[in-house]
Structure 1
Amino acid sequence: MPHEALLEDFEVRRRRALAMGGPEKLARRRQANVLNARERIDCLVDAGSFLESGLFGTSVMPGDADNTPGDGKIAGFGKIEGREVAVVSNDFTVKGASSSLTNMKKIGHVKRVATQRGLPLVMFGESSGARMPDNMGARGMGTMLGTDPVQYVRQRETPWVSAILGQCYGSSAWYACLSDYVVMRRGAVMAVASPALASMAIGQKVDPEELGGVKLHSETTGMVDTVVDSDEDAIAAIKRFLSYLPGHAAEAPPRLAVPAGCDEAGDGILAALPESRTRVYDVRRIIRSVVDADTFMEVKPQFGKPAVIGMARLDGRSVGIIANNPMGKAGALDVAACEKITRFIVMCDSFNIPLLLFVDTPGFVIGIDGERQKAPGKIMNFMTALQMASVPKLSVMMRKSYGQAYLNMGGGRNSDDIAAWPTAEISFMDPVYAARVVTWGDDDPAERARIEAEMRRDSSAYDLASIYGVQAVIRPQDTRQYLKRMLEIHEMRPTHGIGQRHLRNWPTTY
């Protein structure tokens, strides 16, 4: 064919591929205020930076080529604020973005490039699951499934983030579970299989929200980190999260400029801390008075409420925040809080992010429910992850630090440096409960009061400091300056900011 004809054919094929599922389906999405697969990529990456991989891919099934542009998944590479990323965006307008041979090869290729070349991987999840009849029968199984031996392997070489932006079944759910950060739009659903299939399996109608909606995954399973109202909000959250992380595990996180006035914010920290040891407070106020202004990004706020975790910056450095929150169960750590903290430690250790622990906990929630949820194992997972983490760990004891939770929150030698406020209390358990245990069966109030007073002895910050159980007792308003200096001291100099990453192979859910 002449060059002109070849180029004309190229343009026809390119327009067909870019048209996705056709104008009617795209119009319905616009009416619903939902971005299509290509608009999501355009919203994510810098203008003009997206380089598509597999534009002319189609289904391999006979007769399906003309109605499967891109084979339902769009993949490629772009830049976010100048930093390279790999992207997979499910195109629900083409066969529900269902998984088939060609589109899974595209995902595999982009994932391999991201891993080998050190690029974060962003996945926009919206898929109906496996495509039938492509996957049916022995030949379908043999050609569609298991052809990539490392398809579901996570060694956290680069950050993975996922957005749940519609129906997410099958592989789009699997990749979300493997990700370091998951954002979910209200109204979306993530589950093993669709409500229709689940209804057939159990013989009763299944509600999509109950099966895998926002409330389930943000409050009960903890598999979603951030809940948003729109696709645009989800993309903004992804960009913000990635701004704290390195592009890959072999480099330190980026260090940004410090907003003006941050050092003065610490002067108001005492206003957030009640003078009464029994009054609750929101630890987020203390966190925000310590870190750089407007940099605290909380994750999983509705899951494991006795703990607050999130990304922040201190003096321009990325840090991971772990804090006990008296607003939730008086700060007593439950199973969900242990899971949430453990997963966060794993992520921070894998990507060279120092950990700051703010301590005010009476211990762990005890009782039948906790034991049924394997509380001892979850507590030890938390403890093991903390001890194995090789990034700098700095603890600040604000008020209570009791029992095993003293160790889990960095006490002993489980943090690299520990400071205590003069308000700190350190003991095996709350003196009130300790006195009740010792006087069990004895109703003499005077004797109980005497024992309680005895139990309160030697439990101050200065008592712990006297045996070098903490390295410093500091004024609360000096916390920001203390932590800034400690981060300078504990910077990972010999390895250029790279930790040993002992936790990189830790399971993603547990």
Structure 2
Amino acid sequence: MTDQIKKDSGVYKIFRERRSKQTIANNPIKVEKAHAKGKLTAQERMAALFDNGKYEETDPWIRNRCVQFDLYKKDVENEGVITGFGQIFERKVCAFSHDVFVMGASLGEAQGIKICRTIELAMKAGIPIVGLNDASGARIQEGVAGLHGYCSVFGQTSIASGWVPQISIILGTCAGGAAYSSALTDFLIMVNPIGKMFITGPAVIKSVTGEDVTFDQLGGSQVHGSVTGLVHFVVDSESEAMDLARILLTFLPSNSKELPPVYQNSDPITRRAPEIVDIIPENQNKGFDMKEIIRSVVDHGDFLEIQEKFAMNMIIGFARIDGRTVGIVGNRPKVLAGCIDNNAAWKAARFVRFCDSFNIPLITFADCPGYLPGLSQEYNGIIRNGSKMLFAYSEATVPKITVVVRKDYGGAYSAMCGKGVGADVVLAFPTAEIAVMGAEGAANIVFKHEIEKAEDKQEKRIEMIEKYRDEFLNPYRAAEYGIVDDIIEPSELREKLAMHLDILKDKNIWSPYKKHSNIPL
């Protein structure tokens, strides 16, 4: 009997038929259903993520064993998820993709096993994992097995955190456990308008609280992109989401034992940036966009901003200097004068901790009059949230460079990575003002008696304000105390950053033994 006859008979024929059924492309009804809703199929999404559309599927045969509702007798195909691994820009990556057309991609025991095995494989191999999420939550028919499945996914995702980068792409309605499992990852990309995330849907909310809400009001891209800050990026198509995830991974190492990849750089580190002087207004109370300064000094002006529409008074994102990844944190004086509020504080703190986890040097651009005052800020926990920034910077062991652009007052001095919380290098522009507070407030306190005794109190107050400004609102006193390492020409910033990053690239400091720190969450 020839090999061809063998392949066409018995066990081989059964195998090929069963394997063929697992390929969504061989099910035109499902493909049409997905495309009619403006979505790609689970397999098309995997193909769009990986180089040349190629990936190796894992665990395609796992099935549920639920006897309730005779579920085990039904053809539940891929159990609502496809798992596998491939390459992104020639680097290995694991991924899983929900198939929402199989019982709403609800998670039962089998799906939980498939996703957990994928996370475990990523941890063993030391490679990133990307979740393509479009799921309705736990599978009700499987009861506690579904609950345990999600519980296990939560556990594995948390264990993987800080070891391998984890990205979630929200490609549909993710409810309950699907929302939590995504929120546990490092970065979330949501596709507008199909992406949604919430714990309980509108119907449940209506029955419990009587509120009428839409899916978009509850958990659409506008909500999570600008109100809750849960989502780091909002895009308008699935293809854009895949491209963004691929680009994001180029800034990151495969795991926390590696350094981020270094790319060939054609932008000279000696390039001057004379435009910085013109970007900074002469009037210290006038706002400007710090992103202009950031783009002027990074390679080719390429800056990948994160959480762009959330807490817009704080800027975070990735860039490169001399081909090496850096994490950028900066105040944005044109929004709330650059003050740090509750949202800005935890936004920055979480990003700093991510960069520290994955060996990404931090560059901080400071222009901040302090924490935002007010009852609402105090009641919503500005002390707790503000301390997260202090903790995150203090704990970080990666190279830390701070650039004081203008104001660096009071608590902002510490929050924006001052020397005392471990900045390796603090550079200041001649426009820098490092002080306990601004001149107006300080003069009222320091020169209180002189002002009260004066015949013309207002004139004396103006005189004392100018005296304080001349004496203290500059970078020179801080430089004399050694808490500023150098005062530089703004146009030379790119070269200075590149040189300091190079000397610090092998930074190694001692830390006391501990199981883990206790950040004020």
Query: 1:477 maps to what in 2?
Result: 491
Residue 225 of structure 2: aligned partner: 218
Listed one character per residue, the Cα deviations across residues 364-396 of structure 1 (whole Å, up to 9, x for unaligned) are: 101101011100111111101100000000001
Q: How many residues align?
A: 504
Does the alignment pair 1:7 with 2:17?
no
Pick aligned residue for 1:446 from 445, 455, 459? 459
Show the counterpart of 2:65. Answer: 60
- Equivalent residue for 1:322? 329
| Alignment map for 1:426-505 (pairs within 5 Å) | 426-436=434-444, 439=448, 444-456=457-469, 457-492=471-506
Q: CA deviation at 1:22?
A: 4.2
Secondary structure, counterpart of 2:273 in structure 1: helix
Q: For the Cα contact (< 8 Å) 2:387–2:520, is it kept in 1? A: no
Task: Name the residue aligned to 2:183.
Answer: 177
1:502 & 1:279 partners in 2: Cα distance?
A: 46
C-alpha distance in structure 1 between counterparts of 2:91 and 2:312, whole Å: 34
Deviation at 1:504, TM superposition (A): 11
- Equivalent of residue 71 in structure 1, options 74, 79, 83: 79
Q: Quote the Cα distance in structure 1 between the aligned partners of 2:520 and 2:502.
A: 33
Range 245-254 or range 403-412, more displaced: 403-412
Residue 427 of structure 2 aligns with which residue?
419
Determine helix, strand or coil for the equivalent of 1:69: coil
* Deviation at residue 18 of structure 1 after TM alignment: 1.1
Match of 1:399, SS state, is strand
1:375 maps to 2:382: yes
Deviation at 1:493, TM superposition (A): 5.5
Per the TM alignment, residue 333 of structure 1 is displaced from its structure 2 partner at its CA by 0.9
Q: Which amino acid is 2:209 matched to?
A: I
* Structure-2 change in CA distance of 1:145 and 1:46 (3 Å): closer
C-alpha offsets along residues 451-470 of structure 1, whole Å, 9 cap, x if unaligned?
A: 31232123311222122221
Identical aligned pairs, as a percentage? 31
Q: Distance in 1 between matches of 2:357 and 2:43?
A: 31
Alpha carbons of 1:146 and 1:420: their partners in 2 closer, same or farther (altered >3 Å)?
A: closer
Residues 1:107 and 1:270: Cα distance change in structure 2 (over 3 Å): same
- Offset of residue 170 of structure 1: 2.5
Instruction: Output one character per residue of 1:231-271: Cα deviation in whole Å (capped at 9) or x when no partner.
Output: 11111111111110000011111111113467536232223
Counterpart Cα distance in 2 of 1:436 and 1:23: 76
CA distance in 2, matches of 1:380, 1:287: 25
Identify which of structures 1 and 2 has the higher relative contact order when contacts are C-alpha pairs closer than 8 Å and 6+ apart.
1
Aligned-pair CA distance for 1:411: 1.8
Cα 1:502–1:70 change in 2 (3 A) is farther
Q: Residues 381 and 200 from structure 1, CA distance in 2 versus in 1: closer, same or farther, beyond 3 angstroms?
A: same
Q: How does 1:125-136 map to 2 (within 5 A)?
A: 125-135=133-143
Q: 1:275: how far off?
A: 2.0
Deviation at 1:434, TM superposition (A): 2.5
Check the 8 A contact 2:154/2:184 in 1, yes or no. Answer: no
The one-character-per-residue Cα deviations of 1:302-331 (angstroms, maximum 9, x if unpaired) are: 111111110010111100000110111011
1:174 counterpart letter in structure 2 = Y
- Aligned equivalent of 2:192, options 183, 186, 209: 186
Give the C-alpha shift of residue 197 in structure 1: 2.9
Match of 2:259 in 1: 252
How big is the shift at 1:204?
3.5
* 1:28 is the counterpart of 2:33: yes
Task: After superposition, give the CA deviation of every residue in 1:406-463 in whole Å (9 maximum; x if it has no partner).
Answer: 1111223331110101111111111123334565996920232133123212331122
Q: Which residue of 1 aligns with 2:158?
A: 153
Deviation digits for residues 270-307 of structure 1 (CA, Å, limit 9, x no counterpart): 23222221221111110000100143100011111111
Question: Which amino acid in the other structure matches residue 389 of structure 2?
Answer: F
Q: 1:145: Cα distance to partner? A: 5.8
Q: Which amino acid aligns with 1:172?
A: A
Among 111, 114, 120, which residue is 1:106 paired with? 114
CA shift digits 1:79-115 (9 cap, x unpaired): 1011111101111111111001111100111101111
Q: List alignment gaps of at least 5 residues for structure 2.
A: none
Change (3 A) 1:208 1:437: farther
C-alpha separation between the residues in 2 aligned to 1:2 and 1:249?
A: 49
Aligned match of 1:82? 90
How many Å separate the matches in 1 of 2:150 and 2:274?
Answer: 58
| 8 Å Cα contact 1:57/1:69 also seen in 2 | no
Q: Relative to structure 1, is the Cα distance of residues 290 and 505 closer, same or farther in structure 2, using a 3 angstrom cutoff?
A: farther
Looking at structure 2, the residues matched to 19 and 468 of structure 1 have their Cα atoms a distance apart, in angstroms, of 65
Map of 1:96 onto structure 2 = 104
Partners of 1:403 and 1:272 in 2: how far apart?
24
- Give the Å deviation of 1:203: 3.2
SS in 2 for 1:67: coil
Q: Supply the RMSD in Å over aligned alpha carbons.
A: 2.7
- Residue 364 of structure 1 aligns with which residue? 371
The residue identity in structure 2 corresponding to 1:125 is N
Matched AA of 2:191: R
**Structure 1 residue 21, shift from structure 2 partner:** 10
Distance 1:65 1:509 in 2: 50
- Conserved in 2, the CA contact under 8 Å of 1:177 and 1:508? no
Q: Distance in 2 between matches of 1:421 and 1:204?
A: 53
Supply the distance in 1 between the matched residues of 2:338 and 2:152 (Cα, whole angstroms): 47
Distance 1:501 1:296, change over 3 A: farther
Asked if structure 2 preserves the Cα contact closer than 8 Å seen for 1:75 and 1:89, the reply is yes
Scaled by the length of structure 1, the TM-score of the pair is 0.92
Structure 1: 5+ residue stretches without partners: none
Q: Does 1:168 align with 2:174?
A: yes
Normalised by the length of structure 2, the TM-score is: 0.90
Is 1:37 paired with 2:42?
A: yes
Residue of structure 2 aligned with 1:239, choices 246, 269, 274: 246
Residues 143 and 163 of structure 1: is their aligned pair in 2 closer, same or farther, counting only changes over 3 Å?
closer
| Contact 1:306/1:337, CA 8 A, preserved across alignment | yes
The letter for the 1-side match of 2:108 is: S
Mapped to 2, the partners of 1:93 and 1:464 lie a distance apart of: 62
Distance of 1:254 and 1:345 partners within structure 2: 19
Q: Point out the more displaced range, 141-150 or 45-54.
A: 141-150
Structure 2 counterpart of 1:43, one-letter code: A
**Which deviates more, 119-128 or 149-158?**
149-158
Deviates most, 257-266 or 273-282: 257-266
**Which structure shows the bigger proportion of residues in helix conformation?**
2
Cα separation, 2, equivalents of 1:90 and 1:130: 13
